[in-house]
Amino acid sequence: MKEVVSIVKPETILAWQRRLERRKWDYSARRTRGPGRPRTPDDIEALVCRLAREDLWGYQRLRGELLKLRVTLSKGCIADILRRSGSPPSPQRAGLTW
C-alpha cells in the first residue's frame, strides 16, 4: 500500500473510491421499468370491453360479473379500460329504452 500511495496522491485514491461506489450504487436496475402499475392484460381488457358492449351494465355490475369469473378489477380500473377503448359510461351506452 505504501508503494501505491507514493505513486499517486491520496485525493486520486479517494476519487477512485468514489467512482467505484457511484457505479455500484447507481440503482440502474430499478430505473429500467416504467413508472406506475403494470397494465391490465390485453385478454382481460378485451373481456371487459365485450361485456360492456353486449350488456348495458354499469361499472359495478361489470365488476361483479368479472368476480364470478375470478377476475379481480376495481371499478376505477374498469372505467379506465372503457374510457381508453372509447366506450361511454353506462347510461350513454344504453340508447333508447322505449
**What are 28-65's pLDDT values in tens digits?**
777 766 677 888 999 999 999 999 888 888 889 999 99
pLDDT score of 33: 67
pLDDT score of 6: 72
User: 82 exposed, middle or buried (CB, 10 Å; 0-12, 13-18, 19+)?
Assistant: buried
Question: What's the pLDDT tens digit per position in 1-35?
Answer: 666 567 778 888 889 999 998 888 777 777 766 67
pLDDT score of 2: 63
pLDDT score of 72: 93
pLDDT score of 5: 64
Task: Provide CB contacts within 8 A for 62, sequence distance 6+.
Answer: 48, 51, 52, 78
Region 63-68 average pLDDT? 94
b/e sequence 35-69, b meaning 16+ C-beta within 10 Å: eeeeebeeebbebbbebbeeeebbbeebbeebeee
Closest to 48 (Cα-Cα) out of 32, 27, 63: 63
HSE (side-chain half, CA atoms, 13 Å) at 9: 3
